[in-house]
């Protein structure tokens, strides 16, 4: 097992990529600390993860043999993040891997000058600053132990632009930048920081993801049409499955990638090639 | 270096099972985990194991609740804050505060994080007997009849450790200091006393009884950690180990021996320590079997002439011998040797006589050897290139009455008549075509006597019977597929028993034997041409000779089998061969052997993988042969421990000719088979897989300035250097009467670099006392007539290696600089130590500069220190600057 005995923290773990990642880590022998806001956010036009969904992810992980700690925590709240990290360190002795997965795709769907101050701030606060807060809380102990892996789930929106998604694109580009800067900060202490950039991921029923549907809604196009557009835009002519992204995260979390830091691993079916 | 102990090594744990949750609601400080399977499910086992392996800062309590309603309470705690008794009380539900002494804070709970972490003592280096590997580190558990006390376990550990390494005083760690146990006459008199030093083994002993299942450490705090405890299963011993120090097999057997020794201490304290045998009967049987071959020997004892007659009758027209352009068929060899045998008979040779054969390496020599055997006599090969007094010694010692030779001036030995092959043929002229009269020769009669030069005294004759030679071929024929299509070289002097293998290995399996004239054997390119021209398939070589062949282009050599013998082989030297001759085309076999056990003893097929791993294994015993490794008292040693290699079975010679006393000492009863075994005087160890590691001669261990030194070890360090092709290491004394003048000289054949670089690299690996004083580069190493290293012909060494000559002037300056560096860097410093390797940085450099100024010494610029980061170089640079300034 590639993550045997490792303690892994995943944010946004109630569903979607977070759930798929947690499950993949559990299958590789990791123990898990699962964070999710488990509440809706004013300003986000779609429902976020729920306590029931987080408990379900936890149950699936336990079935795979993992010890699981759950925490309802909003990554916009530094104290909440710190508390969850402290509990995880008490329970598991340490955190070996942190996966910054939590993020929102909307409010979006309008030109940049139509975004209001609150919408802009919300997007940056969750998608960029949330990742920074987790790194801030886990990085010190990882550095002290001279081992650790941080994986930031960015997006192809961290590499190219998308029309009418300025906030999201800006935040995800910044996540890529944060990844590179943090990687340099921690390189002397052997703590690695990498980013994964998924393309368009299927809203899988088991994972209960809904990002693709919400992006389609923000763009005011039918989901099947949006899917078709992206299948055509990704040279391998398929949507990405949540497990494909989880596999990349597991690789970057594991010691197999011990010389890889500051890298950006795309899981986009070739979307960003051209 | 010491450092903080790994958290897992600081912690112990206990697990207590109950039928239902003891806690209706979760109390604070308890983590509850629901495991969605019954307690017996493998997944539940995995979860338990994970919790029991997870270190805690201070204390962690986890309740695993299984689907069947049962629970496991797992407590993990730092040993220095909650000892076993405290852990037991915690497990029973009591509330126990951490031990005050270990924590600085008074607040409950998370004091541990602020407590000073216990430091690990400097770890002992991996012991040779541990056969470190990269395998899994598995704990081993043993039930004990009696727990004894800490002192009894320290004594048992000391006895067991000494038996594994008699040279090292055992230092045993505990969680309250390190101990040693001075030697005593009886087990009962062994008493531990405090000691310092790196501990390889450690003991965690506490008689507090714990409920449930106890885990004394989550990771071994000492490379080999033995824990004695009492939990729900009674007294138990657990052995944890680091595979990089001690492999799991060796750790398991060590723990078994320890338990046995401890029981003896408790039950028969009057036993003399020297009388203790680590191995009980079952273990002795196990180890004896380990030294046996993987397949049995099927052999029919016949004499060598009988075996040859069968081949000659089957293929009389096939070429048996090639010498230059000439060839002899099996029929011709048979007929000529019969005529010569007649001649020997006519000369008065009778069955049981010993006949000297002192001929050049020619087809005629082979025919003569066979003729001596056909005459019912024993052949005694004498190399005509040997000095006259050695030839004379052999003739006298073997009681030779007839020597077949073409030497014009065979040394004059009373009662010994030299006779040429032509004279013998003349004497037999009228008997041509008549069959030889039958002889009383049996397979048990001596076939040959070969003289070996021992490390002490004069060469001694080893008497080897016919059946041994036949057994050697029966042991190898099938495995190596010897047959009539094979072409063998005869490269080695008949006086070297490797030739027994070459000559009879070929002629008794129907192959063609190509005579390699002496001068061809000494010129690698001509030898290479011969191998190609004659399409040789089976090549037997000493590693030294093969190294020379590797130096010429050997691409077109198409042998299918190379057999190494006669010397230790460093497998790394074969890499250039494997580059051109893949394993699938040519099999490379290393055979460790001894004249006294008929040429070979073990076989190890070498692969590129083994060569890259620098394997020292010489493999398992040949079918029919078997091995033991014993201590000086003759007891079997545990696998891994180095001792004397003893060889029993089908190859054991009859003894030393005319030396009953020496024969009785070296050829002793085999305690397991009732036969005879030979005590080789060679050092080796049996690996847990039954393969032998040959470590050189026991007497190649020398002492220099009180240090025990293994020359072969120095040699193998030199050979690890990719630029070193071959190497030899010798000890010399400038004043033979003064041991203090002893010095190690190394000789190397280099690919590219300079000998100083070789020494510099070795200096990074070898301790000072083992570092050769000189390293001399040679084009080739001188070889004896047998193709082994000829130490007598090594030239005087190059001037003693000094990095850049002695420090120019001011020794006082050197001394002061050393003092300053040591003070600033906080460690002893030598004149050639690199500032940065010592942990130096710009801050230290500034401090050194300040200290120099404070003592009124010349100022040292930072840049200068970076450019000359050793004291020697600094002194030189300072003195040079001063000289310049003064001029």
Inform me whether the pLDDT recorded for B715 exceeds 90. Answer: no
- Work out the angle at residue B618's Cα, subtended by the Cα atoms of residues B617 and B619, and round it to the nearest 5 degrees: 90
pLDDT of residue B789: 79
Q: Cβ distance B99 to B82 under 8 Å?
A: yes
| Mean pLDDT confidence for B719-730 | 84
Task: Report the range of poorest mean pLDDT among A12-26, B83-97, B460-474.
Answer: B83-97
Identify all chain B residues contacting A68, using CB atoms and an 8 Å cutoff.
33
- Contact, B43 vs A80, CB < 8 A? no
Q: Which of A17-21, B23-27, B610-614, B742-746 has the highest mean pLDDT?
A: A17-21
State which residue of chain B sits closest to A7, comparing Cα positions.
B54
What backbone torsions phi and psi does residue A238 show, to the nearest 5 degrees? -155, 155
CA nearest to B443, candidates B459, B467, B468, B409: B467
Q: Strands of B631-714 (E only): list them.
A: 643-649, 655-656, 667-669, 676-686, 692-697, 701-704, 707-710
Is pLDDT above 60 for B456?
no
Whether the pLDDT of residue B706 is over 70: the answer is: no
The angle subtended at Cα B401 by Cα B400 and Cα B402, nearest 5°, is 95
Q: Supply B254's token pair.
A: 């060590």
Q: What is the pLDDT of residue B3?
A: 59
Return d(Cα A51, Cα A71) in angstroms, integer. 10
Query: CATH fold of B811-886, please?
Result: 1.10.1200
What is the reported pLDDT for B809?
Answer: 43
- Per-residue pLDDT at B862: 65
Q: Report d(CA A121, CA A132) in Å as an integer.
A: 15
Residue A163 tokens, joined:
């029309």
pLDDT computed for residue B884 by the predictor: 59
**Contact criterion met (CB below 8 Å) for B358 and B383:** yes
What is the pLDDT at residue B450? 96
How confident is residue B106, by pLDDT bands cut at 50, 70 and 90? very low
DSSP state of A128: I
Going by pLDDT thresholds of 50, 70 and 90, the confidence category of residue B718 is confident
- For residue B36, what is the nearest residue in chain A, using CA coordinates? A63
Q: Which fold would CATH assign to domain B617-695?
A: Luciferase; domain 3 (2.30.38)
Chain A contact probe: residue of B31, B45, B61 with most A CBs at under 10 A: B31
Å from A4 to nearest chain B CA? Answer: 9
Alpha-carbon distance A102 to A176, whole Å? 15
Q: What would the pLDDT profile of B384-405 be if each residue is shown by its tens digit?
A: 988 888 899 999 999 999 999 9
A197-218 burial, b at 16+ Cβ within 10 Å, e below that, comes to bbbbbbbbeebbbbbbebbbbb
* Mean of pLDDT values over B717-733: 83
pLDDT band for position B705 (cuts 50, 70, 90): low
> pLDDT > 70: what percent of chain B?
90
B541 beta partners: B564
Q: How confident is the model at residue B857 (pLDDT cuts 50, 70, 90)?
A: confident
**pLDDT reading at B97 higher than 90:** no
Helix (H, G, I), strand (E, B) or coil at B91: helix
The segment with the largest mean pLDDT, out of B1-10, B529-538, B713-722, is B529-538
Nearest CA distance, A83 vs chain B (angstrom): 15
Domain-by-domain residue ranges, chain B?
A: 3-119, 121-278, 617-695, 705-793, 811-886
3-state SS assignment for residue B368:
helix
A59–B36 C-beta distance less than 8 A: yes
Cα B794 from Cα B781, distance rounded (Å): 7
Alpha helix ranges (H) inside B315-354: 330-346
**What CATH fold (topology level) applies to the domain B121-278?**
Chloramphenicol Acetyltransferase (3.30.559)
Q: What is the largest CA-CA distance in chain B?
A: 114
CB atoms A31 and B50 under 8 Å:
yes
Q: Does residue A46 have an active-site annotation?
A: no
- H or E stretch at A32: strand A31-36
Global pTM reads: 0.80
**B196-202: average pLDDT:** 93
Say which residue, B799 or B10, is predicted with more confidence: B10
pLDDT bracket for residue B107 (50, 70, 90): very low
Q: Which residues of B touch A69 (CB under 8 A)?
A: 31
Nearest chain B residue (CA) to A58 = B34
pLDDT digits (tens, 9 = 90+) for B136-166: 999 999 999 999 999 999 999 999 999 999 9
Residue with the bigger pLDDT between B723 and B72: it is B72
**Chain segment B351-386, per-residue pLDDT in tens:** 999 999 999 999 999 999 999 999 999 999 999 988
Q: CB B647: neighbour CB atoms within 10 A?
A: 28
Which residues on A lie below 8 Å from B57 (Cβ)? 93
CATH topology classification for A7-265: Rossmann fold (3.40.50)
Count interface pairs A-B at CB distance under 8 A.
29
**What integer pLDDT is reported at residue B25 of this predicted model?**
66
Which helix (DSSP H) or strand (DSSP E) does residue A242 occupy?
helix A242-253
Nearest one of A97, A86, A93, A158 to A128, comparing CA atoms: A158
Residue A52 has pLDDT above 80, yes or no: yes
- Average pLDDT (B314-322) is 97
More confident residue, A98 or B428: A98
Contacts of A63 in chain B (CB under 8 A): 36
Q: B611-664, pLDDT tens digit by residue?
A: 998 888 999 999 999 999 999 999 999 999 999 999 999 999 999 999 999 999
d(CA A205, CA A231): 19
Summarize the confidence of residues A241-269 as an average pLDDT.
Answer: 97
For residues B436 and B376, what is the distance between their CA atoms, to the nearest angstrom?
Answer: 10
| A5–B53 C-beta distance less than 8 A | yes
Place of tokens 């201070």: B58
ipTM: 0.89
pLDDT computed for residue B723 by the predictor: 83
DSSP state of A240: B
Nearest to A67 among B33, B36, B55 (CB): B33
Q: Which two tokens stand for residue A208?
A: 């209960």
Supply B877's token pair: 């640079």
Q: Do A93 and B56 touch (CB under 8 A)?
A: yes
Q: Domain B705-793: which CATH class?
A: alpha beta
pLDDT tens, position by position, A204-228: 888 898 888 988 988 899 999 999 9
CA distance B473 to B456: 32
- For residues B494 and B461, give the distance between their C-alpha atoms in angstroms, rounded to a whole number: 14
Question: Average pLDDT, stretch B313-322?
Answer: 97
Question: How confident is the model over B477-535, as pLDDT tens digits?
Answer: 999 999 999 999 999 999 999 999 999 999 999 999 999 998 898 899 999 999 999 99
Contacts of A92 in chain B (CB under 8 A): 54
Instruction: Tell me the C-alpha distance between A143 and B254, whole Å.
Output: 39
Looking at residue B102, its pLDDT comes to 45
- Sequence-ordered list of residues with C-beta below 8 angstroms from that of B768, at least 6 positions apart, any chain: none
Assess whether pLDDT exceeds 50 at residue B785.
Answer: yes
Q: How far apart are CA B743 and CA B796, in angstroms?
A: 12
B56/A67 Cβ within 8 A = no
- Is pLDDT at A62 greater than 90 in this prediction? yes
Q: Is the pLDDT of residue B778 over 50?
A: yes
Does the pLDDT of residue B887 top 50, yes or no? no
Contact A65 B46 (CB under 8 A): yes
Which has the minimum average pLDDT: A249-253, B161-165, B528-532, B750-754?
B750-754
Which residues lie closer than 8 Å to A32 by C-beta, 6 or more apart?
A: A7, A8, A9, A10, A13, A22, A25, A26, A58, A61, A66, A67, A68, A69
pLDDT at residue number B337: 96
Please name the residues in contact with B871: beta carbons below 8 A apart, sequence gap of 6 or more. Answer: B814, B817, B818, B821, B829, B830, B831, B832, B833
What phi and psi, each to the nearest 5 degrees, are found at residue B603? -140, 135
State the average pLDDT for chain A.
96
B774 and B762 in contact (C-beta within 8 Å)? no
With both helix axes pointing from N to C terminus, report the angle between A78-92 and A130-145 in degrees, rounded to the nearest 10: 30
| Tokens standing for residue B491 | 């490269």
**Radius of gyration for chain B, computed over Cα atoms and rounded to the nearest angstrom:** 34
Mean pLDDT of chain B: 88
Query: Is residue B810 over pLDDT 60?
Result: no
Instruction: Say how far apart CA A187 and CA B610 lie, in whole Å.
Output: 36
* C-beta atoms of B36 and A63 within 8 A: yes
Residues of chain B whose C-beta is under 8 A from some C-beta in A? 7, 31, 33-36, 43, 46-47, 50-51, 53-57, 60
Q: Output the six-digit token pair for A145.
A: 């132990």
List all residues 6 or more positions away from A219 whose beta carbon is below 8 Å from its beta carbon: A109, A164, A226
Under an 8 A CB cutoff, do A5 and B55 touch?
no
Measured in angstroms, the CA of B52 and the nearest CA of chain A are apart by 11
Q: Which residues of A touch B (CB under 8 A)?
A: 5, 31, 59, 62-63, 65, 67-69, 90-93
* Average pLDDT over every residue of B533-546: 94
**Which chain A residues contact residue B7 at CB under 8 A?**
93
User: pLDDT tens digits, residue range A132-151?
Assistant: 999 999 999 999 999 999 99
pLDDT value of residue B434: 84
> A11: distance to nearest CA of chain B, Å?
20
pLDDT at residue B112 tops 50? no
Q: How close does chain B come to A60, measured CA to CA in Å?
A: 10
pLDDT at B104 over 50: no
Q: How far B535 CA sits from the closest chain A CA (Å)? A: 49
Q: For testing the chain B interface, which of A58, A90, A94 should be mutated: the one with the most B CBs within 10 Å?
A: A90
Which residues of A are less than 8 Å from B31 in CB distance?
69, 91
Give residue for tokens 């393309």.
A199
End-to-end CA distance of chain A: 36
Q: Give yes or no for residue B110 having a pLDDT over 80.
A: no
- Peptide bond connecting A107 to the previous residue in cis, omega within 30 degrees of 0: yes
Q: Do A93 and B54 touch (CB under 8 A)?
A: yes
Neighbours of B168 (CB within 10 A): 13
Which residues of chain A neighbour B43 with C-beta distances below 8 Å? 65
For residue A202, give how far its alpha carbon lies from the nearest alpha carbon of chain B (Å): 30
Across the interface, whether the CB atoms of B60 and A93 are under 8 A apart is answered yes
Q: With bands split at pLDDT 50, 70 and 90, how would you rate the model's confidence at B99?
A: confident
- Spatial CA neighbour of B696 closest among B722, B717, B715: B715
């Amino acid at each position: 097992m590639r993550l045997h005995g490792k303690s892994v923290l995943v944010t946004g773990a109630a569903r979607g990529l977070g759930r798929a990642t947690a499950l993949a880590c559990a299958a590789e022998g990791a123990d898990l600390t699962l964070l999710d806001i488990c509440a809706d956010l004013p300003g986000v036009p779609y429902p976020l993860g729920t306590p029931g969904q987080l408990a379900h992810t936890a149950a699936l992980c336990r079935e795979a043999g993992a010890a699981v700690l759950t925490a309802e925590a909003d990554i916009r709240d530094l104290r909440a993040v710190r508390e969850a990290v402290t509990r995880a360190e008490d329970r598991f002795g340490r955190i070996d891997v942190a996966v910054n997965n939590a993020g929102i795709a909307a409010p979006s769907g309008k030109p940049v000058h139509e975004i209001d101050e609150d919408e802009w701030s919300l997007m940056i606060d969750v998608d960029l600053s949330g990742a920074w807060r987790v790194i801030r809380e886990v990085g010190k102990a990882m550095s002290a132990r001279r081992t650790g892996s941080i994986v930031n789930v960015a997006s192809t929106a961290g590499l190219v632009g998308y029309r009418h998604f300025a906030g999201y694109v800006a935040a995800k580009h910044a996540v890529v930048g944060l990844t590179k800067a943090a990687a340099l900060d921690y390189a002397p202490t052997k703590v690695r920081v990498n980013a994964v950039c998924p393309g368009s991921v299927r809203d899988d029923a088991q994972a209960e993801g809904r990002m693709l549907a919400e992006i389609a809604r923000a763009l005011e196009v039918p989901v099947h049409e949006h899917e078709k557009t992206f299948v055509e835009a990704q040279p391998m002519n398929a949507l990405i499955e949540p497990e494909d992204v989880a596999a990349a995260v597991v690789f970057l979390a594991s010691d197999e990638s011990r010389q890889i830091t500051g890298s950006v691993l795309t899981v986009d079916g070739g979307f960003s090639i051209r | 270096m010491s450092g903080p102990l790994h958290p897992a090594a600081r912690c112990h744990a206990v697990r207590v099972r109950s039928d239902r949750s003891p806690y209706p609601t979760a109390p604070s400080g308890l983590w509850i985990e629901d495991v969605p399977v019954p307690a017996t499910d493998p997944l539940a086992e995995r979860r338990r194991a994970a919790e029991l392996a997870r270190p805690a800062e201070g204390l962690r309590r986890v309740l695993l609740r299984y689907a069947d309603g049962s629970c496991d309470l797992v407590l993990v705690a730092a040993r220095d804050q909650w000892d076993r008794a405290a852990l037991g009380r915690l497990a029973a539900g009591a509330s126990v505060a951490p031990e005050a002494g270990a924590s600085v804070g008074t607040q409950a709970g998370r004091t541990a994080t602020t407590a000073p972490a216990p430091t690990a003592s400097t770890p002992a280096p991996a012991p040779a007997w541990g056969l470190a590997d990269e395998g899994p580190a598995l704990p081993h558990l043993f039930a004990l009849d009696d727990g004894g006390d800490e002192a009894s376990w320290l004594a048992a550990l000391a006895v067991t450790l000494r038996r594994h390494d008699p040279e090292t005083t055992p230092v045993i760690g505990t969680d309250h200091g390190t101990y040693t146990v001075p030697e005593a006459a009886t087990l009962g008199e062994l008493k531990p006393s405090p000691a310092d030093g790196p501990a390889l083994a450690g003991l965690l002993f506490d008689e507090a009884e714990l409920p449930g299942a106890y885990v004394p450490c989550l990771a071994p705090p000492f490379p080999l950690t033995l824990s004695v405890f009492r939990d729900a299963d009674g007294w138990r011993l657990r052995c944890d180990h680091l595979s990089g120090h001690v492999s799991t097999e060796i750790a398991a057997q060590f723990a078994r021996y320890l338990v046995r020794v401890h029981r003896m201490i408790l039950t028969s304290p009057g036993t003399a320590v020297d009388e203790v045998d680590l191995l009980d009967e079952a273990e002795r049987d196990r180890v004896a079997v380990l030294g046996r071959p993987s397949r049995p020997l099927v052999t029919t004892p016949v004499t060598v002439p009988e075996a040859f007659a069968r081949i000659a009758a089957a293929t009389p027209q096939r070429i048996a011998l090639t010498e230059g352009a000439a060839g002899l068929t099996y029929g011709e060899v048979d007929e000529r040797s019969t005529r010569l045998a007649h001649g020997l008979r006519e000369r008065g040779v009778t069955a049981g006589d010993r006949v000297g054969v002192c001929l050049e390496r020619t087809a005629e020599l082979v025919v003569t050897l066979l003729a001596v055997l056909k005459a019912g006599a024993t052949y005694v090969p004498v190399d005509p290139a040997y000095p006259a007094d050695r030839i004379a010694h052999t003739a006298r010692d073997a009681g030779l009455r007839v020597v077949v030779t073409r030497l014009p001036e065979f040394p004059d030995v009373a009662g010994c008549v030299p006779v040429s092959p032509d004279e013998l043929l003349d004497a037999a002229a009228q008997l041509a075509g008549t069959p030889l009269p039958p002889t009383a020769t049996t397979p048990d009669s001596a076939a040959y006597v070969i003289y070996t030069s021992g490390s002490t005294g004069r060469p001694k004759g080893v008497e080897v019977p016919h059946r041994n030679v036949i057994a050697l071929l029966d042991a190898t024929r099938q495995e190596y597929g010897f047959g009539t299509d094979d072409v063998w070289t005869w490269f080695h002097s008949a006086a070297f028993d490797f030739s027994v293998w070459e000559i009879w290995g070929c002629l008794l399996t129907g192959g063609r034997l190509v005579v390699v004239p002496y001068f061809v054997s000494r010129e690698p390119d001509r030898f290479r041409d011969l191998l190609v021209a004659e399409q040789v398939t089976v090549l037997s070589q000493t590693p030294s000779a093969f190294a020379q062949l590797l130096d010429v282009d050997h691409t077109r050599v198409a042998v299918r089998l190379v057999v190494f013998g006669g010397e230790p082989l460093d497998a790394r030297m074969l890499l250039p061969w494997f580059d051109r001759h893949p394993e699938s085309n040519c099999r490379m076999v290393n055979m460790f052997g001894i004249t006294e056990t008929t040429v070979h003893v073990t076989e190890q097929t070498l692969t590129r993988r083994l060569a890259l791993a620098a394997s020292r294994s010489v493999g398992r015993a040949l079918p029919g042969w078997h091995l033991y490794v014993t201590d000086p008292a003759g007891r079997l040693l545990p696998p891994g421990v180095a001792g004397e290699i003893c060889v029993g079975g089908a190859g054991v010679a009859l003894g030393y000719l005319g030396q009953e006393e020496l024969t009785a000492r070296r050829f002793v009863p085999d305690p397991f088979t009732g036969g005879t075994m030979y005590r080789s005087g060679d050092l080796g160890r049996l690996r847990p897989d039954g393969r032998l590691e040959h470590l050189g001669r026991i007497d190649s261990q020398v002492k220099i300035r009180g240090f025990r030194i293994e020359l072969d070890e120095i040699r193998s360090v030199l050979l690890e250097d990719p630029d070193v092709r071959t190497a030899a290491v010798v000890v010399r004394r400038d004043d033979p009467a003064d041991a203090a003048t002893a010095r190690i000289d190394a000789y190397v054949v280099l690919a590219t670099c300079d000998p100083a670089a070789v020494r510099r690299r070795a200096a990074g690996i070898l301790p000072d006392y083992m570092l050769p004083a000189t390293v001399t580069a040679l084009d080739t190493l001188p070889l004896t007539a047998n193709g082994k290293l000829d130490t007598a012909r090594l030239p005087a060494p190059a001037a003693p290696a000094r990095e850049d000559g002695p420090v120019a002037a001011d020794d006082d300056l050197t001394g002061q600089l050393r003092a300053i560096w040591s003070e600033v860097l906080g460690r002893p410093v030598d004149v050639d130590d690199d500032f940065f390797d010592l942990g130096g940085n710009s801050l230290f450099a500034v401090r050194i500069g300040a200290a120099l100024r404070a003592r009124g010494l010349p100022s040292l610029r930072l840049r200068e220190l970076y450019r000359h980061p050793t004291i020697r170089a600094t002194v030189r640079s300072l003195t040079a600057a001063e000289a310049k300034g003064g001029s």
